[in-house]
Structure 1
């Protein structure tokens, strides 16, 4: 019987360094550009997620992307991989935790964030769970323990680091906490089988695990930082320059979809998402959609603020991952193409 997760010895420092090097090497790619003849691109390549509906997919179904169409090229469970695909021209946009966006930009990748797409609040959050009878009760209890998460160097690992630091765990002891890559669909199983001692869960997978009982939260990300937008969609600067109308339609469409999801009864949103998943015909399970609550975006229409990047510039800078003075938060994003919530 195969293991419920894939372990990797790659440290956060190594992972982020690799991300930066590979991004810098290909940041001059041209695949994300328009045709160069003045005609703007209308068909956008992107990666999706199994059994769920991304905001661009929702926007397209609602008609908010107008004359744009989406071209699904596969699925991903990794934000850093998704934005790297956008930077290298394999896709036209990608979304990730803002810390990963900062790291990629620090590596000289020519990307810019255009709209927030997920965040954390009291209904939609990332939780760090242990078994009900686990002896783990505090940050210090994590020393020497395995923490399963979807990817390294992103949101889950950043919040783990912040939790350890804010609770007085030394850098030396924090280095003994072992983050492991665990596919989200396998996290609950790995936790219950004691292959890991802590499982990072969110969304429908978290709610299903809680409904089954036997686990409890150690901490939640919004308890550390309050409600906040955590990730953004990025495009290359060249793509934006050559396709400004496309960038505007995409960004505003996603922003409108965020507000539609806020103001529409939850049952109606879930029904719409279920219909979208069924229509695309990928033989996906739609049962988990019933646990959807919100996208968790803090600002109106996903508009971006300096604070959403400055936190991670500081975090990465303090750990030597980037030169803290080398980036300005305001240079990493633009609200120019987001017509939702202006003023």
Structure 2
């Protein structure tokens, strides 16, 4: 599933009030709540929702408080105590942590693999064939300073372009639903497309893939769910149930025939009655999380910390990645 949750540069303006309110759970000591408040995604089934449907959360209940299309907003809401967990692109998690928000990533929930990836597409007859051909060209993406731009920077750097040369590649913000049209009308030279929008463009034809994030980095987890340090301290068994259950759901989705997964998701949408369309589920292929149980690897966060530091958005050493995540509550043990 592809989410519009990557525009996290706005986090640099996170107010002191929001940070001060991190982890506002009342009282002290262990309480192990039996309900978790969260935000969903219209027309989609999140891993926790799938876990609940499969019975992997046991007696733990999910309390849906609304939908979000913004990962940065989702994790800010978790940090300020408006919800209990939120998810975002790992770069957004690093950025929020740099603002001293006491949060911790506990499990990966989406990423890129052979079925779920973002591709960088040009028109079939485009003269663009190599990274250096992108100099002076326009690349359309959903937001700046996030996943799509990071992948572009890594692609250019890996192929020998200097920072000055890479800066000559113009990055244009375009709503995802308009990206394909903008490419076909030659308003941009390259379109970043993923999920249903990518599949529809390929069905129409006339476009050619220049590269994809999966081809660039292999299978990798791109986003994590976070909770506040205080919530984790007060609800360790709740967190363990949540993380282990979501991890089982991720594994189930990866090992179960796609048709069965889509059928289960369609059933979930029908039962929750949120006045939403299930059409997009027909295009679902994978959550993109390759690690067993959604376990987090340090590199999945450090790659963005390094990128943000190189851009000048963070100071060297500003974020200690090792303290930003934990696999302590994940029932799936590390391989080996």
2:23–2:230: 8 Å Cα contact kept in structure 1?
no
Stretch moving more, 253-262 or 159-168: 159-168
Number of equivalent positions? 329
The Cα of 1:116 is off from its aligned counterpart by 0.7
Q: Which residue of 2 aligns with 1:75?
A: 67
The Cα of 1:37 is off from its aligned counterpart by 7.4
1:316–1:324: 8 Å Cα contact kept in structure 2?
no
Distance, in Å, in 2 between the alignment partners of 1:191 and 1:47 is 33
TM-score (normalised: structure 2)? 0.89
Q: Which residue of 2 aligns with 1:87?
A: 79
Cα RMSD of the aligned pairs, angstroms, is: 2.3
Q: Which residue of 1 aligns with 2:267?
A: 275
How has the CA–CA distance of structure 1 residues 144 and 277 changed in structure 2, closer, same or farther, with 3 Å as cutoff?
Answer: farther
TM-score (normalised: structure 1)? 0.87
Stretch moving more, 137-146 or 284-293: 137-146
The Cα of 1:229 is off from its aligned counterpart by 1.4
Distance, in Å, in 2 between the alignment partners of 1:108 and 1:22 is 10
2:262–2:282: 8 Å Cα contact kept in structure 1?
yes
Q: Which residue of 2 aligns with 1:251?
A: 243
How has the CA–CA distance of structure 1 residues 289 and 63 changed in structure 2, closer, same or farther, with 3 Å as cutoff?
Answer: same
2:136–2:168: 8 Å Cα contact kept in structure 1?
yes
The Cα of 1:102 is off from its aligned counterpart by 1.4
The Cα of 1:262 is off from its aligned counterpart by 1.6
Q: Which residue of 2 aligns with 1:3?
A: none
Stretch moving more, 128-137 or 250-259: 128-137
Q: Which residue of 1 aligns with 2:52?
A: 60
1:294-318: per-residue Cα shift (whole Å, max 9, x none)?
1111211011122222222222222
How has the CA–CA distance of structure 1 residues 214 and 198 changed in structure 2, closer, same or farther, with 3 Å as cutoff?
Answer: same
1:114-159: per-residue Cα shift (whole Å, max 9, x none)?
0011121222211111222333322233334332323332211211
The Cα of 1:191 is off from its aligned counterpart by 2.8
Secondary structure class of the residue paired with 1:72: strand
Does residue 310 (structure 1) correspond to residue 293 (structure 2)? The answer is no
1:51-100: per-residue Cα shift (whole Å, max 9, x none)?
22111111111121222222333333332332222223332212122122
- In structure 1, the gaps of 5 or more residues are 1-11
Does residue 147 (structure 1) correspond to residue 147 (structure 2)? The answer is no
Residue from 275, 284, 292 that aligns with 2:284: 292
How has the CA–CA distance of structure 1 residues 181 and 53 changed in structure 2, closer, same or farther, with 3 Å as cutoff?
Answer: farther
Residue from 231, 234, 247 that aligns with 2:223: 231
Distance, in Å, in 2 between the alignment partners of 1:183 and 1:50 is 17
The Cα of 1:48 is off from its aligned counterpart by 2.1
2:56–2:248: 8 Å Cα contact kept in structure 1?
yes
- In structure 2, the gaps of 5 or more residues are 1-6
Residue from 93, 105, 113 that aligns with 1:113: 105
How has the CA–CA distance of structure 1 residues 26 and 208 changed in structure 2, closer, same or farther, with 3 Å as cutoff?
Answer: same
How has the CA–CA distance of structure 1 residues 217 and 23 changed in structure 2, closer, same or farther, with 3 Å as cutoff?
Answer: farther
2:23–2:79: 8 Å Cα contact kept in structure 1?
no
1:255-304: per-residue Cα shift (whole Å, max 9, x none)?
01011112211110011111112222233332222222211112110111
Stretch moving more, 42-51 or 97-106: 42-51
Q: Which residue of 1 aligns with 2:4?
A: none
Residue from 157, 164, 173 that aligns with 1:165: 157
Q: Which residue of 1 aligns with 2:118?
A: 126
Q: Which residue of 2 aligns with 1:99?
A: 91
Distance, in Å, in 1 between the alignment partners of 2:115 and 2:233 is 37
Q: Which residue of 2 aligns with 1:189?
A: 181
1:24–1:108: 8 Å Cα contact kept in structure 2?
no
Distance, in Å, in 1 between the alignment partners of 2:173 and 2:74 is 16
The Cα of 1:35 is off from its aligned counterpart by 5.4
How has the CA–CA distance of structure 1 residues 112 and 164 changed in structure 2, closer, same or farther, with 3 Å as cutoff?
Answer: same
Distance, in Å, in 1 between the alignment partners of 2:86 and 2:133 is 36
Matches within 5 A, 1:170-181: 170-181=162-173
1:115–1:232: 8 Å Cα contact kept in structure 2?
yes
